[in-house]
Amino acid sequence: MEKAPNRRRVDAEFQSAAAGRYDRRFDQLIDRLPRRFRSTVRWLRQPSSRWIRIPAGGLLICGGLFGFLPVLGFWMLPLGLILLADDFPPLRSMGSRILDWIERRYPQWLAASAASNRP
């Protein structure tokens, strides 16, 4: 008789694969940013930058809620959620859904292009 696989191990492997896919797609979006913003977002995603990432994500979400104002925009809301998803696992599924939507709606944003080499 075969022994059933350990459920925790299977769940951990699934979560690890999902996290890798999430990180790959997020990295593809970061690569499309101008160099200055690209380095800032990469710095924010480092584990040591948690102390600034959480307030920045919160401010982006607040700015997104007031997106109807001229200076702010609705684009701030998903960016804030994706930044906070690194620290709050329940938000990771929401960030993954945002990336799924981007992948379906704007596949060219995740494609390798010359835009990733711009200054």
Q: Is the pLDDT of residue 76 over 60?
A: yes
CB-CB contact of 52 with 44 (8 Å): yes
Q: Is the pLDDT of residue 80 over 80?
A: yes
What span, in angstroms and rounded, lies between the C-alpha atoms of 35 and 48? 21
What span, in angstroms and rounded, lies between the C-alpha atoms of 42 and 70? 27
* Among the ranges given (21-30, 61-70, 78-87, 97-106), the one the predictor scored with the smallest mean pLDDT: 21-30
Domain boundaries, the chain: 7-113
Residue pLDDT, tens place only, 11-57: 444 444 445 666 788 888 888 878 887 888 889 888 898 999 999 99
Strands (DSSP E) contained in 1-119 are: none
pTM over 0.75: no
pLDDT of residue 100: 86
